[in-house]
Amino acid sequence: MATHAPTTHTKTTITRTRTAMQSNGPATATDTLVIYVATEDAPSKVHAILVHVCMTPQDVSDTILACFGVQARDTHRVLRLTRSSNDKIVIPVAALTLLPPNTLDTPYLAVIAASVDAALAESRAKDRSDEFETVYEEIEGLKRQLRFVKKHVAGSDASGAGTPAAPVTSFRGEMLSDEEAGELVSNLEMIGLEMGFMRALQIDTTVFRRFLFGIKDAFDKSPAPVDFFQSYQMTNAVIHLLKSANSMMAYGSPIGNLVNLLTILTYGLRKSLSESEQKSKLAVKPSAKDQLDILLSLFNDPATNFLIQLDDMDFKEFKETLKRVLLMLTSPRSFLADMPLPKSKPTNGNGAKLQKPTSSWISIAPKSGAGIKRRGSLDGLNLSKSKQISTGAPVDFKKSFATTEPVVVPPRAVSGKENTKGPEQSVPTVAVSKDSPPTVAVSKDSPQDVPLREDKVLRERNLARIYEQEGVDKELATLIRQDMLELNPNVRWTDIAGNEAAKTLLAEALVLPAIMPEFFKGIRRPWRGILMTGPPGTGKTMLAKAVATECGTTFFNVSASTLASKWRGESEKLVRTLFTMARIHAPSTIFIDEVDSVSSARGSSSESEATRRVKSELLIQMDGAGGSTTKMVNGGEPVVMVLAATNLPWLLDEAMRRRLEKRIYIGPPDLFGREQMLKLCVKDIVLAENVDLEVVARKTEGFSGSDITTLCRDAAMMKLREKMRNLKPSEMHALKPEELDVPIDMKDFEDALARVQSSLSGADVERYDQWLADYGSA
Ligand X SMILES: Nc1ncnc2c1ncn2[C@@H]1O[C@H](COP(=O)(O)OP(=O)(O)OP(=O)(O)O)[C@@H](O)[C@H]1O
CB of 535 to ligand X, least distance (A): 7
Query: Position 688: which residue type?
Result: A
Cβ–Cβ < 8 Å for 564, 551: no
Closest to ligand X by CB, 63 or 597: 597
Interaction of residue 536 with ligand X, rule CB under 6 A:
yes
Which residue from 205, 304, 538, 580 is in contact with ligand X, where contact means CB under 6 A?
538
Closest to ligand X by CB, 411 or 705: 705
Say how far apart CA 471 and CA 592 lie, in whole Å.
Answer: 23
Q: How many residues does the chain have?
A: 778
Is there a binding annotation on residue 535?
Answer: yes
| Helix residue spans in 536-684 (DSSP H) | 540-551, 560-565, 571-584, 609-623, 654-659, 671-681
CB of 363 to ligand X, least distance (A): 57
Q: Who's near 638: CB < 8 A, 6+ residues apart?
A: 454, 582, 583, 584, 586, 587, 588, 630, 631, 632
Segment 90 to 149, residues that bind ligand X, using CB under 6 A: none
Interaction of residue 533 with ligand X, rule CB under 6 A:
no
* The one segment of 78-86, 201-209, 221-229, 702-710 that binds ligand X by CB under 6 A: 702-710
* The one segment of 18-26, 166-174, 540-548, 689-697 that binds ligand X by CB under 6 A: 540-548
Cβ–Cβ < 8 Å for 578, 467: no
Count CB-CB contacts under 10 A for residue 216.
17
CB of 429 to ligand X, least distance (A): 24
* The one segment of 80-88, 267-275, 453-461, 491-499 that binds ligand X by CB under 6 A: 491-499
CB of 496 to ligand X, least distance (A): 4
Closest to ligand X by CB, 683 or 725: 683
Say how far apart CA 569 and CA 599 lie, in whole Å.
Answer: 17
Q: Is the bond leading into 587 cis (omega within 30 degrees of zero)?
A: yes
Per DSSP, the residues of 506-568 read HIIIIIHHHH-TTTS-GGGPPPSEEEEE-STTSSHHHHHHHHHHHH--EEEEEEHHHHHHTTT
CB of 659 to ligand X, least distance (A): 20
Say how far apart CA 750 and CA 742 lie, in whole Å.
Answer: 17
* The one segment of 38-46, 293-301, 534-542, 563-571 that binds ligand X by CB under 6 A: 534-542
CB of 713 to ligand X, least distance (A): 10
Cβ–Cβ < 8 Å for 634, 300: yes
| Helix residue spans in 222-357 (DSSP H) | 228-244, 247-250, 254-272, 275-283, 288-300, 315-330, 332-338
Closest to ligand X by CB, 105 or 707: 707
Helix (H) or strand (E) holding 724: helix 705-724
Residues β-bridged to residue 392: none
Task: Tell me the residue number closest to ligand X, measured at CB.
Answer: 705
Segment 660 to 699, residues that bind ligand X, using CB under 6 A: 669, 677, 680
Say how far apart CA 149 and CA 595 lie, in whole Å.
Answer: 54
Is there a binding annotation on residue 536?
Answer: yes
Closest to ligand X by CB, 554 or 706: 706
Is there a binding annotation on residue 517?
Answer: no
CB of 668 to ligand X, least distance (A): 9
x/- letters, 436..475, toward ligand X (CB under 6 A):
----------------------------------------
Say how many CA atoms lie within 13 Å of 719 toward its Cβ: 19
CB of 529 to ligand X, least distance (A): 17
* The one segment of 161-169, 342-350, 368-376, 536-544 that binds ligand X by CB under 6 A: 536-544
Interaction of residue 244 with ligand X, rule CB under 6 A:
no
Which residue from 156, 263, 382, 647 is in contact with ligand X, where contact means CB under 6 A?
647
Which residue from 540, 615, 631, 662 is in contact with ligand X, where contact means CB under 6 A?
540
Cβ–Cβ < 8 Å for 390, 383: yes
Which residue from 156, 499, 562, 630 is in contact with ligand X, where contact means CB under 6 A?
499
Closest to ligand X by CB, 48 or 484: 484
Closest to ligand X by CB, 235 or 647: 647
* The one segment of 339-347, 530-538, 691-699, 722-730 that binds ligand X by CB under 6 A: 530-538
Residues β-bridged to residue 90: 82, 115
What is the distance, to the nearest Å, from the Cα of residue 636 to the centroid of all Cα atoms in its chain?
A: 20
- Taking every pair of Cα atoms in the chain, the longest distance, rounded to a whole number of angstroms, is 100
* The one segment of 323-331, 570-578, 583-591, 701-709 that binds ligand X by CB under 6 A: 701-709
Is there a binding annotation on residue 538?
Answer: yes
Residue 369 CA: distances (Å) to CA of 25, 350, 673, 710, 771: 67, 17, 64, 73, 70
CB of 491 to ligand X, least distance (A): 9
Say how far apart CA 338 and CA 334 lie, in whole Å.
Answer: 6
**Burial readout 66-95 (b: 16 or more C-beta within 10 A, e: otherwise):** bbbbbeeeebbebbbbbbeeebbbbbbbeb
CB of 694 to ligand X, least distance (A): 17
Interaction of residue 497 with ligand X, rule CB under 6 A:
yes
Which residue from 706, 715, 749, 772 is in contact with ligand X, where contact means CB under 6 A?
706
Q: Is 591 helix (H, G, I), strand (E, B) or coil?
A: strand
* The one segment of 284-292, 449-457, 495-503, 714-722 that binds ligand X by CB under 6 A: 495-503
Cβ–Cβ < 8 Å for 407, 268: yes
Interaction of residue 705 with ligand X, rule CB under 6 A:
yes
Say how far apart CA 73 and CA 64 lie, in whole Å.
Answer: 12
Pairing of strands 89-90, 79-83: antiparallel
Count CB-CB contacts under 10 A for residue 1.
9
Segment 196 to 215, residues that bind ligand X, using CB under 6 A: none
Which residue from 380, 539, 638, 649 is in contact with ligand X, where contact means CB under 6 A?
539
Cβ–Cβ < 8 Å for 421, 445: yes
Per DSSP, the residues of 110-147 read -----B-HHHHHHHHHH---HHHHHHTHHHHHHHHHT-
Closest to ligand X by CB, 359 or 559: 559
Interaction of residue 477 with ligand X, rule CB under 6 A:
no
Say how far apart CA 748 and CA 688 lie, in whole Å.
Answer: 10
Say how far apart CA 725 and CA 755 lie, in whole Å.
Answer: 18
CB of 489 to ligand X, least distance (A): 11
Closest to ligand X by CB, 188 or 496: 496
* The one segment of 160-168, 178-186, 338-346, 704-712 that binds ligand X by CB under 6 A: 704-712
CB of 268 to ligand X, least distance (A): 58
Closest to ligand X by CB, 245 or 507: 507
User: How many residues of this chain bind ligand X (CB under 6 A)?
Assistant: 19
Which residue from 541, 562, 600, 630 is in contact with ligand X, where contact means CB under 6 A?
541
Residues β-bridged to residue 764: none
Helix (H) or strand (E) holding 205: helix 205-221
Is there a binding annotation on residue 537?
Answer: yes
Say how many CA atoms lie within 13 Å of 391 toward its Cβ: 0
Interaction of residue 375 with ligand X, rule CB under 6 A:
no
Which residue from 537, 587, 649, 667 is in contact with ligand X, where contact means CB under 6 A?
537
Say how far apart CA 237 and CA 259 lie, in whole Å.
Answer: 10
Which residue from 542, 546, 574, 718 is in contact with ligand X, where contact means CB under 6 A?
542
Which residue from 419, 709, 758, 759 is in contact with ligand X, where contact means CB under 6 A?
709
CB of 541 to ligand X, least distance (A): 3
CB of 641 to ligand X, least distance (A): 18
Binding residues: 534-541
Applying CB under 6 A, the residues found at the interface with ligand X are 496-499, 536-542, 645, 647, 669, 677, 680, 705-706, 709
User: What residue numbers does the annotated binding site for ATP cover?
Assistant: 534-541
